[in-house]
Amino acid sequence: MARYDVVIVGAGGAGLRAAIEASMDPNIRVAVISKVYPTRSHTGAAQGGINASLGNVIPEDSPESHAFDTIKGSDFLADQDAVFFMCENAPDIIYELDRWGVPFSRLPDGRIAQRPFGGASFPRTVFSADRTGHVILHTLFEQALARDNIDFYNEYFLLDIIHNGVRVKGVSVYDIKNGEVLNIEAKAVILATGGFARIYWQRSTNAVGNTGDGVAVAFRAGLALKDMEFIQFHPTGLAKTGILLSEACRGEGGYLLNALGERFMKRYAPEKMELAPRDMVSRAIEYEIKEGRGVGSGTSAYVYLDLRHLGEAKIKERLPQVRQLAIDFEGVDPVKELVPIRPTAHYCMGGIHVVNYRTSATELEGLYAVGECACVSVHGANRLGGNSLTEILVFGKFCGISAREYAKQVDWLPLTEAERKKNIEFIERLMNREGSEKLADIRKRMGEITWEKVGIFRDERSLQEAYKELSELLERWEAIPVVDKSKIFNTNLVEVLELRNMLELARVVAYSALHRKESRGSHTREDYPNRDDKNFLKHTLVYQRDDKLVIEYIPVSILKYQPAQRTY
């Protein structure tokens, strides 16, 4: 059995940034656990950029303006104290990355370049062509590898948080390489396991591994999940696959066209046009399709992204990955052709309830959550493009500091014999389980239910049906056998475990959405089309008590900006 001061689950941007900070004290031993090799973490898929008010293009930009744009973009559901904290610390994070060697794109005078993004008052999105997340992830991994007191456990799957109901004791993980269960003692545990938009299985920008493992494990451990109804649908997913084309396409001046060749955003956001926030643009595309102005019909309908007027040189310099994806997955070259696109599930505003934004602490002492698996909340009902990388790095840094200092003050709690055996016996039972259900069938049906009934447009009936059907799928999960009986790289077993996590979270999303009887940000109720600040200017909390879901609400932190009509 292994023992560490700080254990971090997840090796994306949030986890690595927290690990680097926790390791600043050479006496603190840190473990980073990841179910994939760290450079395959989903931070690497972030294309367009990271927001910080450097003022390199327009000097008048400021953290105050960044905060206001974020709060307005959130449809006034973001906690304003947390937003100000993030925006004020963002510039230092950028310059730190610059010193560590992130190859940011530059202005002619050598300063870091910035470009416009949706919902922003100024061009404040820092970028490295359209591979920003990729270069940040690799740079952070290099920094972490250089530190002697960080150990990596690559290709280990999180099974459980070990705790006594008050304080964390460690984690239980499954070694995918050899099929063994390992219990790791820890004074502090940081969950940085990413989002869960793969619950929309066939229609998501996310990697297939974004199955919400840390969120589901925390939920089963009795922690609250916050604002789970708010799922962001990115406007520009490739029509056939849902693969992301970065918001940088629109930031650099791309147009959205319907089947008639109209730039239809003039109907929905006449000032911002294509640079309106993501929730508005996604709804606008779906409205165009519903009104018959899309190309094709049904689930295969789409509109067009037009980049041709940007010119070949600019596309190759600023959007090289976008071009390659369009060529590889749609067979069209954006330099010369229109690109078929449609909204696709992209990001989860909700996650594990964080009770202190300065530390990323959760309700369980010694347990922290950071990044997309957490809900601070700085995104509220809708995240602005470029703010996710800002969030994971700002809060990742301060979470690492907090976990490090906490670990200095406490000792390890010993594991009981029952705690040591629990997950070993669970895996044995799962490997020997019999049943006639098929993993692929249930997973596919989950994706159909979430997209059709918990998608961009929702209503009472569809959400009730979704909750009922997802609950039934969760029961059917119990009859999925693990067909592969080998111990070495048993991806069949991992996929069965991931499906349980996704089904549990999808059910919470439907349950939370059913109870929020208003439209706000990414949550659009056709039967309650208006925002209702009187009854729903509050955060949703969902707990699991025995087999039942229990819902509670807590107030939004409003400091400076009172809710106002959100127009662009």
Distance CA 285, CA 295 (A): 11
Phi-psi region of 371 (alpha: psi -120 to 50; beta: other; left: phi over 0): left
User: Which class for 331: exposed (0-12), middle (13-18), buried (19 or more C-beta within 10 A)?
Assistant: exposed
> What is the C-alpha separation between 88 and 97, in angstroms, rounded?
16
Q: Which two tokens stand for residue 219?
A: 């939920």
Tokens of 533: 């600040």
Give the angle 337-338-343 at the CA atoms, nearest 5°: 150
The Cα–Cα gap between 537 and 197 comes to 24
In one letter, which amino acid is 17? R
Asked whether 160 and 170 are in contact (CB, 8 A), the reply is no
Distance CA 403, CA 31 (A): 12
Name the residue with tokens 């104290």: 81
Q: Can you tell me which residue has the tokens 């470009």? A: 115
Catalytic residues: 278
Residues 6+ apart with CB under 8 A from 472: none
CA distance 500 to 472: 12
User: Could you write out the DSSP letters of every residue in 165-222?
Assistant: SSBEEEEEEEETTTTEEEEEEEEEEEE-----GGGSTTSBSS-TT-S-HHHHHHHHTT
Backbone φ, ψ for residue 143 (5° rounding): -60, -40
Question: ω into residue 377 within 30 of 0, thus cis?
Answer: yes
Query: What is the CA angle 546-376-350, rounded to 5?
Result: 55
* Closest among 134, 527, 170 to 324, alpha carbons compared: 134
Give me 121's structure tokens: 């008052």
Cα–Cα separations (whole angstroms), residue 453 to 341, 444, 460, 469, 475? 21, 14, 10, 10, 19
Q: Which two tokens stand for residue 320?
A: 């090289």
CB within 8 A of 203, min separation 6: which ones?
A: 237, 242, 344, 345, 447, 451
- The encoded tokens of residue 303 equal 């509109």
